[in-house]
Structure formats: structure tokens, C-alpha cells
Amino acid sequence: MAFETTLPGRYFYDPEIFAREQSCLFGQMWTCVGRADALPNAGDFQTAEFAGESVLIVRGRDDELRAFLNVCRHRGARLSLEPCGNTGPAIQCVYHAWSYALDGRLIGAPNIARDESLDRDNLGLVPVHLQVWEGLIWLSLADDPPPVTAQLEPALLDRFGELEKFERYGVGSLAVGKSITYEIDANWKLVVENFMECYHCAPIHPELTSLLPEFRQGTSYQGIVGQGTAFADEIDAFTLSGQGERAMLPGLLPSDARLYYGFVLWPNLFVNLLPDHVILHTLTPLGPERSRVVCDWLFTPEEIARPGFDPADTVAVFDITNRQDWDVCERTQLGMRSRAFVNGGLYVTNEQHIAGFRDLVLERLGERV
Amino acid sequence: MAFETTLPGRYFYDPEIFAREQSCLFGQMWTCVGRADALPNAGDFQTAEFAGESVLIVRGRDDELRAFLNVCRHRGARLSLEPCGNTGPAIQCVYHAWSYALDGRLIGAPNIARDESLDRDNLGLVPVHLQVWEGLIWLSLADDPPPVTAQLEPALLDRFGELEKFERYGVGSLAVGKSITYEIDANWKLVVENFMECYHCAPIHPELTSLLPEFRQGTSYQGIVGQGTAFADEIDAFTLSGQGERAMLPGLLPSDARLYYGFVLWPNLFVNLLPDHVILHTLTPLGPERSRVVCDWLFTPEEIARPGFDPADTVAVFDITNRQDWDVCERTQLGMRSRAFVNGGLYVTNEQHIAGFRDLVLERLGERV
Amino acid sequence: MAFETTLPGRYFYDPEIFAREQSCLFGQMWTCVGRADALPNAGDFQTAEFAGESVLIVRGRDDELRAFLNVCRHRGARLSLEPCGNTGPAIQCVYHAWSYALDGRLIGAPNIARDESLDRDNLGLVPVHLQVWEGLIWLSLADDPPPVTAQLEPALLDRFGELEKFERYGVGSLAVGKSITYEIDANWKLVVENFMECYHCAPIHPELTSLLPEFRQGTSYQGIVGQGTAFADEIDAFTLSGQGERAMLPGLLPSDARLYYGFVLWPNLFVNLLPDHVILHTLTPLGPERSRVVCDWLFTPEEIARPGFDPADTVAVFDITNRQDWDVCERTQLGMRSRAFVNGGLYVTNEQHIAGFRDLVLERLGERV
């Protein structure tokens, strides 16, 4: 049987294909854009780039998080240029001072308040579907999307065979101890594909494979359902030094003590589960050949509050690994326009499972699988 | 009655629409590109970016101003890279030393002077129609354009109901006391629309509205025909401090003493009339999402020649106002690609008159109005 | 008879035409990309940008030079990011450690060595045709190209009427004494056209024409077959000072002592023959409006090895001349989008021969000549 082939090269640089992905894939699926705990109080907001839109996410006086297109309904001005902040009692456009309640209703339009022509009920901010899952904010621009769990749970079942194994990590109860943002000169799909296979781990990740020696065999994600990757015998913790004595996450079983689990929640979240912390990579396509990854290292709030909390030794492992990965993604991007890649390349033995991601992309684009 | 709607978002970023505007609108209408008094002597030239062309404007030995495409007829080299200067006795291309008289005739081509194949009569510089109105240089690339006054006078009549009111300001007799050039990350039409309404004045222009308090009501340009905007009772002059004792422009009436008039002469000149000076904004589209404005503050030559002439306090008013305007234009540009603006936004009560500009654009593009 | 006309302006900026040139002209003709003596040992490599591809040129253990697309067959990663170096015993991709022999065969793929699905014989590096002529590396992406001499010798016969006159310069036996790389904001064809005519020499090259006064008449390349251009009586050598006493190249005749020969070997090599050195310009299109020229000054290895060898006075002549040429090429690029150049410009008396180059381009693009 022949190996599966990758997408043809043009899928990794063509602006027209990128635009269709933005509308048909990111514009239809639930996409992870941030953390609910970043917005604790009424009026707290953040903006997110998502499917070609700037979206304003704001916590209401009723404590609900809501999302809106970051566009004034009057003349189209961007409401907030800031990545985050607090709106105060209302969301006000600086241009003509139209103001909106935190639930999106138009509540003020100077000088035309009594104008009968102003169809105020239809001039609220344009809402974007928002759901919080495990503390993460997911958005959808679909007309009538299913619950976010309908998208995520099948992927969890594929990975674990059950939901409980993932749920006991209590990701939603954790907080960010460290966050690093990376920009990468590569198409977002190369970044996903890179995370999905460990065939490259032996060649480029000496630090990671010294902690997780099974990865030298080139298999990871596509391992047996439910199976994690064991720590090296000689290490005590998932740190660059191998030393450490952080408490296990509450709710874990003894059998979780020395295992790593990694997996992708399509389209844009990479999850890394460890006994004492969790690492989440949130991926944003910025252009056909440019992507952003925000990497968050999560710990229990108690751990972060502990005097002298310092995650540096832990953070170093995936910070180094991330940089090694982005380097090869950028090298791969450089080959996409070659006549050698017009028909794509190969997913070999340890990469056959990436074909599932390739097929998701094609299906969302309405192309043959 | 419903409000008028703006142009759909794509009109503010689509390169194809921009190219059609350059050829069908700026390439057909008279467009203001500079000042005749900047070129007092034979051989004085300036170059102007206009409708996608670089144009060379030069004063002839007969004292006439003429405009030519800034392109050598031989191999296409740009004749002048400089924004202004003096050509000397002829316009000479540096590449092969072809030379042209100041009226555009080919007068020298080294080594081929006697070659019968050289159709010298048809190898003069390509002329561009030029007319001077009120001291301003207007160009047209149309085949056989009407006089520039046929384009400008209807707009003046719309604003004043008569020509005399404008003419008594003697704009053509004034000189530049200060000039500031701005570049703006916004489509040129957003800059025009911004100048045409004062609904935004209360929210963003505290300095301007403290001088012209009527502007706080959100109306300006679309006021009663012939009506100006009164100075605040407590100010003596249109300066940031409100202080000043500059003489009124000669020819004005006592009734002009404490009034401001603003209006647009489509496609690209904004006029601001004050008792003792005039401010002109000349707008140049640089790209679908980039524009340049040159703002000139004009005074009588006598005033400028006065020892100790210092326009800073006057200039500050519109320099601050300009920067406030460009800021909201840039914010609005950011919203143009959103699905919230696919069908455009609203011109509300105080902005209904902008629909006339919208319709001009559509008409020039050959689209339905 | 009317003059010949140049290509229309769009041929000098349209990205679509540029892409067709890359595939139909540079992708089909032999193109010069470097020097064989830069890669003396097994494993020595250089990369070249050529016809939209990155190509890896490497010397094998059998001393043969070979060229391959610089792309791993597995997932498309660029094999080498470096412009030159030594591969070591194999060419190894950093991503998944696939390795290739210096002759391109796939010799290693970790963990899948025994996988029957791996069609190793068809997964070698993609070869690119390579021939060395006069010490220069020429590449072709054509399926079955003729020998490189079939492309080059007709041009030499056009210039000299015989091959011997060129061959006695022994270009292939010379070495690089100095190399300068230039980047130019102009289409590559403007650079070729500029080199092909000397009608511009009097206006812009005072240094060059003081050494070669015949050039002031505006003729050069299109002179009588086999004829060179004589040095000025008062100079001793082709140096900025006119002084110098470098030995003639071995093999030259006394009649070659005070002559310059220049010509183009299409598509991208400019040759300058002098009694004691040779200058080669290698041109690479980088984009529709951007080009690179590498200029090499060649001397005998003995001359270069001589204590105190200093080519500065010689190099200065063409370094100055080059910069003067790129300046007018960039000026000409600026005119290409004007309506004045929509139908192109003129090749006048001394430039009629450039029409041959124009026709080559059209023919390769499959357009009417």
C-alpha cells in the first residue's frame, strides 16, 4: 500500500485558498481564542483576530461573556484598538460617540436619539457565538452552531477512548503561570502537522527526547488509544534539568504520575498534559505564510500563589521545543512553491494519521477527500 | 424614511476598485495638485502624483504653466525624480540626453538629429491639461475636458448660493504661510466623508468646538445655503488661545468678521474660509488604504512679510483637528473588511448629504446610483 | 522605415508576465548561476535562485557537479538555507533526517528503512540539468535540453564571426579577483537592454568613455562583426587612472592588446573582454521590478597569487559604470506604468539590434514576434 500524500504545495501559500479556509473552516468551526479568567469583571474585554475578523469579547454586568464584531454599526469604525482593558459602563465608539450596552444593545447615538428613522433594535453590535469550555473561550461565526462539546468530544474520545481521563486534569481550574507568543513564517497547517507527529523528534528535539525517550522511535500522537508517553527513568520532573518536586494536579491518579499526553483539538488548540502542569498552544493564522502561536503554561492557582513560584525550568522545555519546531516549519514553507512539491509530499509510516487532518481541511473547503 | 447607506466595505480596500477610481474618476475630473505661485520663473517645475501618473508641471519661457507626463518618449525613463526645481533651458532626460523645450517639443536627440525615421513632431512630451483657478493648479487627463470652472462653480453655488461670497476672500491672491503634509492609513473617500460632516465634532474635536460651539450640534457643511459658523462669543481669533489681532482679508465685509465656512470641492480639495486666513487641504490617494493630505495655511503676502510673522497659534487649531480626524479615519479603515460592513453602514440625520459624494463616486465608476 | 518599438510597459511590471518568463524562458533556457571553481571538493555546495526555484549544486565524490531542487522529497523542507558550504558525506534534511547521497539517491530514512511502501528508487532528489562551460555553471529545467554550447555558440558567432577569437581569452582558466553584488529596482530586461546599447554612454558614463572614446558615438555591441572598441590613445590600461602594467592574458594576440569586447549571452550573462582581465555580469531576476547582478572581475590565477595583487583601480571602472547603469534602469522602471508607455517606446538607430532580444522574449513566451 502506498503512503498517503500531503496536500499539494499551493494549499500552503495560495491567498485564495487561505481566504476560503478563513471563511469555510475557521468561519464555521468553533475556534479557541483565549481564556475566560482573563476577563473577571464586568466590562473587562479582549479583542481577538479570528477568521479575518476582529472580535470584541466582553464580560457583561450579568457576568456572562459575550462576543461581538469589533465594528461600530454606524460608519464601521473599529470599537477597540487595544488588545484588552475595561470598557467602563458602556462600549463607546470614539468616532461619533455611539454607545452600546455590554450586551450589545445600542443605547446612545448623540443628537438622533428621537429620530424615528433610527432602527435602534437592529443596530446593536453584531453578536458572535461564544462558549467557554475548560476555561477557554471558543467562538463560532456559523449561523446556528452545535455546542462546542459536539466538536471537541469526538477528538477527546479518539485520543483517550473516554472523557474522564482528560477531565481529571481539571484544565478549566488551572491558571496561566507563563505565556509566550511566537510568530512563524509558515502556513498554519504546517504547524498543526508538525505537532501531530513525532517522527521529527529524534532529529530536532534532543531536550524533549531526553525527557521522553519513547519519542525517539518517531511515534506519539498516533499511539495506542489512551496511551501516554513515559518519562525517562532518571528524571524526577518535566523540566530542563529533570529535577523538580511540584505537587501533582488534584484529581490525578497515581498512574498519571510520570506520563505525557499530547493531542490536537482541531482546528487550533494543541494540548499537552503533564502530572503537575498543562501546556496549551493556541494557533492563529495571520496570512497564507504567517502564523501566531500563544503558548500558555498552566498550573493550579495555589501553585502560582506559592511564594517563590518560578516556572522557568519547566517552561524551558517547551520553549526550546517550540523554537525547534517553528524552525522546521519555516524551512518546510520554503519548499511549498517548488515544482518538486506541486503534487505534495508523503506522510510515511509514523505520519499516516495526519491524513485525517488533511481530509478535514479538504472537507471544510468543499473539495474531494 | 430610512437613512442613506454608505458604500459597501469593499469600496474602501479593493485594489481593483481603486484602479478604476484612478482611471475613471481622478483620470477624468479636474484634480488639484499644487500652487501656481510655487513656480514663478521659466523652468521652475514640480512633479505631482496624479491618477497613477507622475506629472511634470513646468513654467515656460512664455510664462505659461504646462503639464506633461513625466516620461521620456524614447525609452520611458522618468524625466525628473525631484519633487521640484528648475529645469534650466530645456527638459533633458539623463538616460540618452534627449531634450525637450519647456513647451514639450523634442529639440534634441544625440546622433540621430538627421535621421529621417525620427518622427520628431510626434515625439514631444505627452501633454496633460492644466488650468489655474484661484492660484491652484488643476490637471485633467480627459481627452477634451470642460473648463475647470464648469466643475467647480456648481459646488460653490451649492454652498453659497452665489459666487461673490467666495470670491471676495481672494484666495488666489494669498500665499502659503505654513504647510504640513500628513499620510493616513485610510482610503481617500473616508477622508472626504470625514471632512463633510461635523457629527463627529463634539466627540473628537474639543479644541475646534470650543472656537466654533455650533459644531457641537453635529451639523456643519450641510447647513443652510450660504450660512457660516459663528465664532464663540469669548474668542477674538481662530487660534488655539482664542487670542489674536490679525487684519481681515481685504475685500471681506464686516459680516464676514466672525464666521467660518468649510466645504469640499470634489474630488480632492477641502476649503476653510476664515476672516484673516484660509486653509486648504489637498488630498492625494496613494493606494486603496493609504492617502496623503497637504494642508496649506494661506495669508496675504503682506501679512507673511510682516516682521515677526508667526502663524503657530493659528496653525495649531487645524493641525490638532487634522490629527484627530486622521485617527478616526484610520479606525474606520480597520472596519471596512468586516462582515459587519459588507453592505456598508449608515449616514444618519446629520450625514445624509454625504450621499451626494457617494453617488458621485458610483456615477464616475459607471455603477448604478 | 520606422524605428523598432520596445515591449509594452506591462512586460516590465506585470507579475503574471514575470511568472511566465520564469517558467517559459528561464525555466527552458540554459541559465548561468555561478562558477565551478567555487566548489573544488566533494560535498562542496552552493544554492542558486533560478526560475523560481532554489537549486542545490554539489560536487560528488566522483568529482562531478550535480544540481538538484533544494527540497526534501518527504515533506518538502528546504535542504539548505545556506548560500554555500560543505554537505559532509551526505545531504541530510534537518526535519526528519532523511539523507541523500551526493548523487541524489535516497540513502536514509529513519525508522522506515525496511518499510516496503517506501519507493526509495523514486524518492531521490529531483535532478536539474547542469553543464559547465568556460568554468561557469549553467542550469536547465527543460526536460531534454540540447547541449549548452548549442545555445551559446550562435551568439558568439554573431558577435565574432568565429569561435577562436573568444576562446583565446581562456575565460575558463581564469579566477575571481573581485566580486560585487548589486540589487536593482528594475525589471531584468531593462538591465539587459541597457547593456546592449551604448547610446547612453556619452550622457552617463564619462569615466568609461574617457577610456573608450568610440563609445561617445553611441555604438558598441551592434558594431561590425568581430570588431572591438579601441582604448584611448593616452591610456596604458583599462583602469580608472589609465595607468597600469598588468600582463596580457596568455593566448592573446598582439592585435588584442588595446581592445574591449562586450556582448550578452542570453538570457543572463554579460561578457566584457579586456587584454588583461575579463568581467562577467550574471543577472538574476528577483521579481517583476527587482533584479540582482553579480559582477566578477577575472584574472589569471598567477596574477591573483602575485604578492601585492590589487585590482582596485581596474574594478573601479566598471563598478562606477555599473552604478550609473543601475540608476538609469531604475529611472526607466518608474516610467513603465505610465499611459505614455502603454505601447512601449522606441529603439532608435543605435538600438535597433535590441529588437532581437525583444523577439527572443516574445518567442519564449509563445507570443507573436
Separation of alpha carbons B200 and B218, rounded Å: 7
**B-contacting residues of C 191-210, CB under 8 Å?**
193, 199-200, 202-204
DSSP for A176-239 reads EEEEEEEEESS-HHHHHHHHH--TTHHHH-HHHHHHSGGGGGT--TTSSTT--EEPPTT-SSSS
ipTM confidence: 0.93
Local structure of residue B343 (DSSP, 8 states) = T
Do B31-144 and B154-364 have matching folds? no
Question: Residue B5's beta-bridge partner residues?
Answer: B346
Between chains, do C350 and B111 touch, taking CB under 8 Å as contact? yes
C324: pLDDT strictly greater than 60: yes
Angle, alpha carbons A45-A46-A47 (nearest 5°): 130
CB-CB neighbors (< 8 A) of C124 in chain A: none
CB-CB neighbors (< 8 A) of A2 in chain C: 117, 119
B355 touching chain A per CB within 8 A: no
Separation of alpha carbons C32 and C132, rounded Å: 9
Q: What is the pLDDT of residue C249?
A: 97
Nearest C-alpha neighbor of B74 from the set C346, C313, C216: C346
Between chains, do C94 and A204 touch, taking CB under 8 Å as contact? yes
Separation of alpha carbons B153 and B222, rounded Å: 17
Q: What is the pLDDT of residue C9?
A: 98
Q: What is the pLDDT of residue B221?
A: 64
Is C52 within 8 Å of A337 (Cβ atoms)? Answer: yes
Place of cell 484666495: B171
Q: What is the pLDDT of residue B222?
A: 63
Q: What is the pLDDT of residue B1?
A: 54
For chain B, the average pLDDT equals 95
Between chains, do C328 and B111 touch, taking CB under 8 Å as contact? no
CB-CB neighbors (< 8 A) of C95 in chain A: 200, 203-204, 328, 331-332
CATH tag for A31-144 (out of 3.40.50.720, 2.102.10.10, 3.30.420.480, 3.40.980.10) = 2.102.10.10
Q: What is the pLDDT of residue C223?
A: 64
CB pairs below 8 Å between A and B: how many?
90
Is A100 within 8 Å of A90 (Cβ atoms)? Answer: yes
Q: Which residue of C has its CA nearest to A190?
A: C75
B331: nearest CB among A94, A110, A119: A94
pLDDT digits over A127-184, tens only? 999 999 999 999 999 999 999 999 999 999 999 999 999 999 999 999 999 999 999 9
Is A268 within 8 Å of A283 (Cβ atoms)? Answer: yes
Q: What is the pLDDT of residue A44?
A: 98
A231 torsion bin: left (phi>0), alpha (psi -120 to 50), beta (else): beta
CB-CB neighbors (< 8 A) of A350 in chain C: 111-112
Nearest-CA distance from B367 to chain A in Å?
22
Between chains, do A348 and C54 touch, taking CB under 8 Å as contact? no
DSSP for A131-184 reads EEETTEEEEE-SSSPPPHHHHHHHHHHHHHSSSHHHHTT-GGG-EEEEEEEEEE
Between chains, do A77 and B334 touch, taking CB under 8 Å as contact? yes
A253 touching chain C per CB within 8 A: no
B94 touching chain C per CB within 8 A: yes
Is B247 within 8 Å of B164 (Cβ atoms)? Answer: no
Tell me which fold the domain A154-364 belongs to. Answer: Naphthalene 1,2-dioxygenase Alpha Subunit; Chain A, domain 1 (3.90.380)
Is C231 within 8 Å of C274 (Cβ atoms)? Answer: no
CB-CB neighbors (< 8 A) of A349 in chain C: 111-112, 115, 117
Between chains, do B328 and A94 touch, taking CB under 8 Å as contact? yes
CB-CB neighbors (< 8 A) of C76 in chain A: 6, 9, 332, 335-336, 338, 340-341, 344-345
B9: nearest CB among A54, A76, A111: A76
Q: Which residue of C has its CA nearest to B99?
A: C203
Average pLDDT over residues B311-323: 97
Nearest-CA distance from C75 to chain A in Å?
5
Residues of chain C with pLDDT > 70: what percent?
98
Stretches where chain A sits below pLDDT 50 are: none
A53 touching chain B per CB within 8 A: yes
Between chains, do B200 and A73 touch, taking CB under 8 Å as contact? no
pLDDT digits over A297-321, tens only? 999 999 999 999 999 999 999 999 9
Domain ranges of chain A: 31-144, 154-364
pTM: 0.94
B223: pLDDT strictly greater than 70: no
C296 torsion bin: left (phi>0), alpha (psi -120 to 50), beta (else): beta
Q: What is the pLDDT of residue A311?
A: 96
- Tell me the pLDDT band of C369, cut-offs 50, 70 and 90: low
Nearest-CA distance from B184 to chain A in Å?
15
CB pairs below 8 Å between B and C: how many?
90
C180: pLDDT strictly greater than 80: yes
Chains with 3+ CB–CB pairs under 8 A to C are A, B
Q: What is the pLDDT of residue A111?
A: 82
Q: Which residue of A has its CA nearest to C117?
A: A2
CB-CB neighbors (< 8 A) of A199 in chain C: 96, 110-111
C35: pLDDT strictly greater than 90: yes
Nearest-CA distance from A262 to chain C in Å?
19
B331: nearest CB among A52, A53, A95: A95
DSSP for A247-299 reads PPPTT--GGGTTEEEEEEETTTEEEEE-SS-EEEEEEEEEETTEEEEEEEEEE
B72 touching chain C per CB within 8 A: yes
B217 touching chain A per CB within 8 A: yes
A95 touching chain B per CB within 8 A: yes
Q: What is the pLDDT of residue A349?
A: 84
Between chains, do A75 and B6 touch, taking CB under 8 Å as contact? yes
Separation of alpha carbons C201 and C262, rounded Å: 13
Chains with 3+ CB–CB pairs under 8 A to A are B, C
Between chains, do A94 and B203 touch, taking CB under 8 Å as contact? yes
DSSP for C325-366 reads HHHHHHHHHHHTTSGGGTT--EE-GGGTTHHHHHHHHHHHTT
Nearest C-alpha neighbor of B246 from the set B162, B312, B186: B312
